[in-house]
Amino acid sequence: MRAFVFLALFSVAFARGSLRARAGDNIVELAEKDTDLSTLVTALKAGGLVTPLEGKGPFTVFAPSNEAFAKIPKDELEKLLDPKNVKMLDSILEYHVVAGAAVHSGELRPENHFKTLEGQELLVEARDSGVVINNVSRVMSFDHDATNGVVHIIDTVLIPPPRPDIIAFAKSDKDLSTFVAAVTAGKLVTALEGKGPFTVFAPTNEAFEELTPDVLKWLLEPEHIKELQEVLEYHVVSGAFYSKDLKRDQDVRTLEGSHVHIEEGYHRGALYITVNNAFVTSRDNGATNGVVHLINKVLIPFHQV
């Protein structure tokens, strides 16, 4: 049944004269050639996202049509395009972009969760009636291939839900329960609920399990709070650094006072990021006061090694 739905939607797309991919067109060039995406192109330029979407990718873009933007009240759209509100605009646009994969319609499962550049997830459901995103937007036209990804045209602009702060995000992720316990024992909860912004490299439960049990127990004892705070602050950087903000090779100063070494690269077409000897396993989890990247090892300041 779903195959027939896709075929029907493809027929509609071609009938309305939508995007025609040409050899050598990146995502931005592809959008610029479609008159029904002119508002999106204007928004991309206003938000400064043209250059990223001209990059290597691969990206999957759920591109709102002009009709989708027309559903937004005129004064609200003008407000979004005002240079003073560029951060808000960037957040909305990045919520339509999935980095690291070009996902075509034939690869969709009945239920899909995709991490966006904005840091939060999209729920994409392949139903018998079509493909629906977050229960509010439908894909009207699929699989417009570009040199750096694929574009799907949607009928409603997606608005990211309100973000939690760093601590609220950590508490919502069951794989960060040990990290939350450590931050609580180290009396750093209030600090990480503060204004920030912060970048937190948060070790998963599995990362803490790699520590010798006696070491973790020792760190969590009240008399060793100073040492615990040093370890935790070694995982925190002042400022919000998403993966797109990181350089390929750099040293970043932590709240503990010393530096961590960050490297970024590609392996078999997939982006990887390392912090010292730890791999980032989940990146760009946005919060109201920064961003959280999950890592697979606990980082220890060199003077404690």
Q: Summarize pLDDT for 190-210 with one digit per residue, the tens.
A: 999 999 999 999 999 999 999
Q: Answer yes or no: is pLDDT of 244 > 90.
A: no
Give the residue-averaged pLDDT of 262-276.
Answer: 86
Q: Are 135 and 12 in contact (CB under 8 A)?
A: no
Which CATH number is 2-154 given?
2.30.180.10
Architecture of domain 166-304: Roll (2.30)
Concatenate the DSSP letters of all residues of 131-182 into one string: EEETTTEEEEEEEEEETTEEEEEESS---PPPPP-HHHHHHH-GGGHHHHHH
Cα Rg of the chain, angstroms: 22
Among 229, 277, 274, 271, which residue's Cα sits nearest to residue 254? 229
Q: What pLDDT does residue 15 have?
A: 35
Domains 2-154 and 166-304 share a fold: yes
Does residue 131 have a pLDDT over 50? yes
Q: Helix, strand, or coil here: 55?
A: coil
List the structure tokens of 38.
Answer: 């002119």
Q: Which segment of 8-12, 89-93, 148-152 scores lowest on mean pLDDT?
A: 8-12
> pLDDT band at residue 11, thresholds of 50, 70 and 90?
very low
pLDDT of res. 23: 58
Q: Would the pLDDT of 249 be above 80?
A: yes
Cβ atoms within 10 Å, residue 71: 12
**Residue 4 has what pLDDT?**
37
Mean pLDDT taken over the chain: 90
Greater pLDDT, 247 or 171 = 171
- Give residue 19's pLDDT: 53
Top pLDDT among 6 and 57 is at 57
DSSP conformational letter for 301: -
Task: Quick: pLDDT tens for 291-301.
Answer: 999 999 999 99
Select from 264, 258, 259 the least CA-distant residue to 293.
Answer: 264
pLDDT band for 18, please (50, 70, 90 cuts): very low
Q: How confident is the model at residue 9 (pLDDT cuts 50, 70, 90)?
A: very low
- For the segment 80-98, the average pLDDT, to the nearest whole number, is 95
pLDDT value, residue 303: 63
Q: Sketch the domain layout of the chain as residue ranges.
A: 2-154, 166-304
Rounded average pLDDT over 133-157: 97
Is the pLDDT at 113 greater than 80? The verdict is yes
Cβ atoms of 291 and 285 closer than 8 Å: yes
What pLDDT does residue 198 have?
A: 98
Say yes or no to pLDDT of 231 above 80.
yes
pLDDT, mean of residues 138-150: 97
Measured distance CA(170)–CA(90) in Å, rounded: 24
Confidence of residue 119 (pLDDT cuts 50, 70, 90): confident
Position 32 scores a pLDDT of 97
Residue 6 has pLDDT above 90, yes or no: no
Taking 70 as the threshold, does the pLDDT of residue 12 lie above it?
Answer: no
More confident residue, 274 or 268: 274
| Residues 161-184, mean pLDDT to the nearest whole number | 96
